[in-house]
Amino acid sequence: MPRFEYIALDARGTENRGVLEANTQNDVVNQLRQSGYFPTSVVVEGQGGAKVAKKGKTAAPAAKVGATATKKDNTSSLLKKSVPSKTLMIFTRQLATLIDAGLPLLKGLGVLAKQEKNLTLKAAINSMADGVQGGSTFSEAMGQHPKIFNKLYVSMVKAGELGGVLELVLTRLAEFQEKAQKIKNKVKSAMTYPVVVLAIAMLILVFLLTMIVPKFTTIFKDMLGEDAQLPAITRWVMAVSDFVKNMFFPPTLYFTITGVAIIYAGWWALNNTPKGIQLLDKIKLRAPVFGDLIRKSSIARFTRTLGTLVTSGVPILQALNITKETAGNVVLGDAITKVHDAVKEGESIVAPLEASGVFPPMVISMVDVGEETGQLPEMLLKVAEVYDDEVDNAVESLTSLLEPIMIVFLAVIVGTIVIALFMPLIEIINKMQSPK
């Protein structure tokens, strides 16, 4: 009976070599697949080569990235860029579907590389395929592209490889990304409305102050005289109008530039120092309108990330470290650090969560129950689902609340200007009607 040399990958992406006796190459392929391996090369013993047998046909060797020095340089520059979260989410879902359907990892990567339109992700997929074919695990190849795949992604894939459930982990990861993207879009939509309305209000205000108010100022001077005692609100509106008109001309221009520079420097200092970032994150959580939404969104992200990692087989301490890096809020990150230290000492995670003051009693109670019953990952995911709904409700409430607030805001601005202009007009009309 003929003997065949084979190269095959296991569920973790590790390359295995050996020799099998069989009648045909197809028989070797079937034997390997039944044993849970993905054959990449099957040839008659002693003949060598890199031919891969599949259903009696010889597959073409995998194309290598960077056939020329120019292509290598282009690929290297591409891999330094990031990929939109939506594009990465679609790639994860498609790869999970292909592997779940029984397609070998290398073949699945090849299929996705051919159809991928994003050049950065396409180059990364080809690079990962080369790495896996060269003997690296999928998670190791993925870890070479930190701009695209964060620690959360790589750790979950590594856990899936070690547990032999890569397709299941990829499916969970795709679901995680889809939910995170959904919440992100909802929060963005909630923030977009007030920003747009505020921009329109500012345009209206600038138009009134630069075009309308100066004309009335001229009328008042002509009708009432230069020394006329105008109402305080009118004088204030006219002063603001003069400032806005002259803000792009000296000397007002110098004050404008100085003011903008001071504001920018202060904002930069807050965003680039640990204490400043912590202060801003505290303000975000305590903001009157958006604070509750940001808090609920952060809790949903924390519980979903930690629950997904632990469910996928990532050790709790490593999962807490990863969750801290993806928390997106320093205050929440500090609370997770305390939880990590408590778990490391063999203590419960409930006490540091409660002491942080960030998490509501309901979350702490559910985590406590999950810890006592040994179902912490499941309970964390339930908390995430609850807070996903809370975020949905908060976004709807915020949208409905902001609409009347913005209407009142616009009414106050326009009403103030109208009152300021009509008070002197009433005085002018009274003078014109009074007998001489």
Give the span between the Cα atoms of 429 and 136, in whole angstroms.
88
Q: What is the pLDDT of residue 48?
A: 52
Tell me the pLDDT tens digit for each residue of 330-365: 888 888 888 888 888 888 888 888 887 788 888 889
Do residues 53 and 26 touch, judged by C-beta distance below 8 A? yes
All residues at 6 or more sequence positions from 49 whose CB lies less than 8 Å from its CB, including other chains: 41, 43
All residues at 6 or more sequence positions from 200 whose CB lies less than 8 Å from its CB, including other chains: none
Lowest-confidence region among 2-11, 64-73, 192-201, 262-271: 64-73
Local confidence band at 63 (pLDDT 50, 70, 90 cut-offs):
very low
Q: What is the pLDDT of residue 61?
A: 39
Do residues 344 and 317 touch, judged by C-beta distance below 8 A? yes
Lowest-confidence region among 63-67, 222-226, 280-284: 63-67
Domain covering 179-436, topology = Receptor-associated Protein (1.20.81)
Instruction: Calculate the alpha carbon distances from 162 to 139, 144, 204, 342 in Å.
Output: 10, 19, 61, 27
pTM of the model: 0.58
Q: How many Å from the N-terminal Cα to the C-terminal Cα in the chain? A: 128
Tell me the pLDDT tens digit for each residue of 371-429: 888 888 889 889 888 888 888 787 777 777 777 888 888 888 888 888 988 888 887 78
As annotated, the residues of the chain forming the CATH 1.20.81.30 domain(s) are: 69-149, 179-436
Instruction: Calculate the alpha carbon distances from 57 to 28, 98, 174, 310, 377 in Å.
Output: 13, 21, 33, 42, 46
DSSP state for residue 211 in the 8-state scheme: I
pLDDT over 50 (residue 136): yes
Domain covering 69-149, topology = Receptor-associated Protein (1.20.81)
Tell me the pLDDT tens digit for each residue of 253-299: 778 788 889 998 888 888 888 888 888 888 888 887 678 878 888 88
301-314 in b/e form (b: 16+ CB < 10 A) is bbbbbbbbbbbbbb
Instruction: Calculate the alpha carbon distances from 69 to 72, 73, 268, 363 in Å.
Output: 5, 6, 41, 55
Do residues 164 and 372 touch, judged by C-beta distance below 8 A? no
Give the span between the Cα atoms of 375 and 108, in whole angstroms.
34
409: amino acid identity, one letter: F
